[in-house]
Amino acid sequence: MIILGIETSCDETAAALVENGKTILSSVVSSQIEDHHAYGGVVPEIAARKHLEAIVPVVQSAMDQANIPTQDIDALAVTQGPGLVGALLVGFSFAKAFAYARKIPWVGVNHLEGHITSVFLNEKTPEFPYVALLVSGGHTSIYHICSHTECELMGQTRDDAVGEAYDKVSKMLDLGYPGGLIIDNLAKKGDASKIPFPRAWLDKSAYDFSFSGVKSAVRRYIEDTPDYKNRLSDIAAGFQESVVEVLTYKLIHAAKEKGCRDISVVGGVAANSRLREAITNEALKHGLRVHVPSIDLCGDNAAMIAAAAFHLLQNGQKSGMEDDVFSRAKSPMGQKHR
Q: Based on the fold, state whether residues 10 and 55 are members of the same structural domain.
A: yes
Q: Based on the fold, state whether residues 65 and 164 are members of the same structural domain.
A: no
Q: How many CB atoms lie within 10 A of CB 15?
A: 34
In this predicted structure, what is the pLDDT of residue 37? 81
Q: Based on the fold, state whether residues 84 and 169 are members of the same structural domain.
A: no
How many structural domains compose the chain? Answer: 2
Q: Cα separation of 173 and 150, whole Å? A: 41
Residues 208 and 157 sit within 8 Å (Cβ to Cβ): yes
Q: Is beta strand 106-110 parallel, antiparallel or unpaired with respect to 150-156?
A: unpaired
**Which are the contacts of 185, defined by CB distance < 8 A and separation ≥ 6?**
none
Residues 269 and 163 sit within 8 Å (Cβ to Cβ): yes
Q: Based on the fold, state whether residues 67 and 106 are members of the same structural domain.
A: yes
Q: Cα separation of 168 and 312, whole Å? A: 36
Q: Based on the fold, state whether residues 8 and 31 are members of the same structural domain.
A: yes
In this predicted structure, what is the pLDDT of residue 320? 95
In this predicted structure, what is the pLDDT of residue 214? 96
pTM: predicted TM-score of the whole model, two decimal places: 0.94
Q: Based on the fold, state whether residues 48 and 81 are members of the same structural domain.
A: yes
Q: Cα separation of 330 and 332, whole Å? A: 6
Q: Based on the fold, state whether residues 142 and 270 are members of the same structural domain.
A: yes
Q: Based on the fold, state whether residues 70 and 34 are members of the same structural domain.
A: yes
Q: Based on the fold, state whether residues 16 and 66 are members of the same structural domain.
A: yes
Measured between alpha carbons, how far is residue 305 from residues 14, 15, 297 in Å?
10, 9, 11
Q: Based on the fold, state whether residues 161 and 254 are members of the same structural domain.
A: yes
Q: What is the mean pLDDT of each run of 10 residues along the chain (338 residues)?
A: 97 97 98 86 93 97 96 97 97 97 97 97 97 94 96 95 95 94 97 96 94 96 97 98 98 98 98 98 98 96 98 95 89 61
- The single-letter code of the amino acid at 316 is G
Q: Based on the fold, state whether residues 109 and 226 are members of the same structural domain.
A: no
- Domain of residue 277 covers 125-292
Q: Based on the fold, state whether residues 285 and 142 are members of the same structural domain.
A: yes
CATH number where 286 lies: 3.30.420.40
